Each structure stands twice: as structure tokens, then as C-alpha cells.
Structure 1
């Protein structure tokens, strides 16, 4: 259990320092987090509201931050290139997100011309039926994307990494609120990029620990 917790903390730490340096991106993740929690709450009450909040607001705002506001030049804080960060990304990097978001954007069109989705569901009737069927598709797509990447990580990394990533994604809204609730205030002060002082402090501590071990 301790190993799971440690790996979860490590994945969250890497996610923060590598992919959430923009205060705009952090603020959009805060909006996304509240939207996802609303989607969670409505999942069994009203799937239409859940899907619209989860995909239409939470996912869109989240990915706008990553695609348009997160720096993509050389990362001086972590001393790595953007390409390196894309290669080591545990979850969905930008290329994978393009594929996933493209599928999401195409589902309303496909459903309109295939009301039964090739026999996978009952044909809808009227606009309310269309929205309900679309919401079921979007919720299913979200679950499928989560399971697909988790299983993929079983093979390209290991089972532990996949399961921890699965847990991380489900709990990200709670963690994002904890991490980024102050980001809008920094943004209003004109701070567009997080100085990431904790990254430098942690690196310095690690170097001190390594020096201490060598001296023993």
C-alpha cells in the first residue's frame, strides 16, 4: 500500500512540474476539477448533465490549457525538452489527446447518421433521445479511454504503473483543487508562469541527500 501511495505521489509530482507550469492552465484545471466533480455527482442522477459537464466543460477547459497555454519550449526548470516530456508522459500526451478528442468530436455526427450506433444501442427518438444517447456514448468513451490506457501501461510499463495512473485520473479533480485553488489569484496579479520554486528546492534537497550518502 505504501508503494502505491509513493508511486501516486510521484506521478502527481511529475504531472505538476512537467505539464502545469502555466497559471492559465492551472486555473483552467481548477475549473475542470469542479466540473468533473459535478459530473461525478450527476453520473447516476442525470447522465446528460454528467456527460455535458464531464466532456463539454471539464475536458475542453482542461485541454485548452494544455494545448494553448502550457509552454512548449525548452523547460529550464526541469532541464528537459518538450519532446522528452511528451515521450515520457505516463498518460495521454498531446498526440494521443488529439486522437481521443477527434473521436469525441466525431461521435455526435456518427450518432446522428447512425441512431443505433451500428446496432450497439437502441435508436433514439427526438432531440431528448439524441442527447441521452450521446451522453451514454460520451460516458462510455471516457471509461473506454481510461481502461485502454491503463491496460496499455500494463504492457509498456508495468501493472503497478497502470493501476496507479487509473487511481490518479479518478482522483485528479480533488488533487487539482488542492494544488491550484490559488492559481486564479496569481493570474490576476499578472503571474502567467508558476516559478516552480518547489521543484528547485526538491532538486537541491535530493542533491544534498546524494552528497551525504557519498560521504558516508
Structure 2
């Protein structure tokens, strides 16, 4: 029971820190809402068509999600949380902006591997036309996504412990549901001209 309680408390803290440190902008929150909805569509398709699910997840969900962080979230001193951007990046449990740049670069460049190695070293059936290429790109991106999750989880196992790693993976996989709960009103706030969320002080 103590392990379960530790896991749930770690998950709660990770979710709260992610929200209060990295989701001040209502534009970012609105983009996260779009991302979350499209992720749920990808979840619904993952067992029947993993290639299409991965294409949706990366091209819609991840692009909107990361655009919110890179282009709309403030990078200056966080007055609400009394923390510098550098401090927040240093203590970020998952992928901070620097790690995200690496991950997104791997994602964007990975289709070039299929040009050189269409069978992906025997893992895929080589494409015969552009539709087959797109399908294989989807499967490759599915592998990139899984590898990104597993890689960071294992890093956290080593640096912060098994509980932290398992909590982070759980957080990532359940973020679409949690984001819809948190940010479903963000577009309405934007229509009212409210660009920043004033409520981050509330636990």
C-alpha cells in the first residue's frame, strides 16, 4: 500500500508541476486541448491501425502540443512560482525544451532512414509506392514514440527511482484525459481576451 501511495503522490506532484510551470498561456492550453483530442483519436486507432495512429499522434497531437510550448509559453522569470526558466528546465522530470528539440529532430529526420533502408533492417515490408512509404513512416514514428517513452523512463529509473519513472510514463499516457479536464475552457478564455491563466497559485 505504501508503494501505491508513493506512486499516486508522485503522479500528483508531476502533474501539478507540469501544469503550474509550463501551462500559463491560454493559447498553449488551447493547443493542448486540440492535442489531447487528437491523441484520443490516435488511441482509438492504435490497435487496428498503428501506422495511422502514429501519423495522427505526431503530425497533429505532437505538433500542436510542442508549438504551444515553444512559441506561446513565457520563457522569462516566473513570478507566480518564483522560478527562473532555467531552473524549471533543470528540474523538469520529462522532456524539457532541450530534450524535446532532440526528440523532434529524430522524428523529423527519421523518414530519411526509410529512403536509405526501406525494409528498416528487416523490420518492415519495403514500400512499393508513396502510400506504402507513408504507411511505413507511420510505423517508424510509432517505434520512435515508444522508444522515446521507454528511454526517458529508464533514465528516470536510474536518476530518480522506479516510482518516478513509472509515474512519469503513466502521466504521459493519461495526459490527453487530464488535459481535456484542465483546459476544455481555454478557448473560451481566449475569446474573452484572457491570454494568461491567473489561477496557477491554487493547488
TM-score class, shorter-chain normalisation, is: over 0.9
Bigger relative contact order, structure 1 or 2 (CA pairs below 8 A, ≥6 apart) = 2
Equivalence map 1:125-144=2 (5 Å):
125-144=128-147
Alpha-carbon distance in 1 for matches of 2:132, 2:159: 40
Give 1:63 shift: 0.2
2:71 is the counterpart of 1:63: no
In the other structure, the counterpart of 2:174 is 171
Give 1:124 shift: 1.6
Give the alignment's Cα RMSD to 1 decimal. Answer: 1.2
Candidates 193, 196, 199, aligned match of 1:193: 196
In the other structure, the counterpart of 1:207 is none
In the other structure, the counterpart of 2:28 is 25
Give 1:108 shift: 1.7
2:122 is the counterpart of 1:116: no
For the 8 Å contact 2:27–2:190, the answer to whether it is kept is yes
For the 8 Å contact 1:39–1:54, the answer to whether it is kept is yes
Determine which structure has more spread, i.e. the larger CA radius of gyration. Answer: 1
Give 1:136 shift: 0.7
For the 8 Å contact 1:24–1:69, the answer to whether it is kept is yes
Alpha-carbon distance in 2 for matches of 1:48, 1:139: 7
In structure 2, runs of 5+ residues without a counterpart are none
TM-score normalised by structure 1 residue count = 0.89
What is the aligned length? 200
TM-score normalised by structure 2 residue count = 0.95
In structure 1, runs of 5+ residues without a counterpart are 203-216
In the other structure, the counterpart of 2:54 is 51
Give 1:21 shift: 0.5
For the 8 Å contact 1:22–1:193, the answer to whether it is kept is yes
Alpha-carbon distance in 2 for matches of 1:125, 1:39: 25
- SS for the counterpart of 1:73 is coil
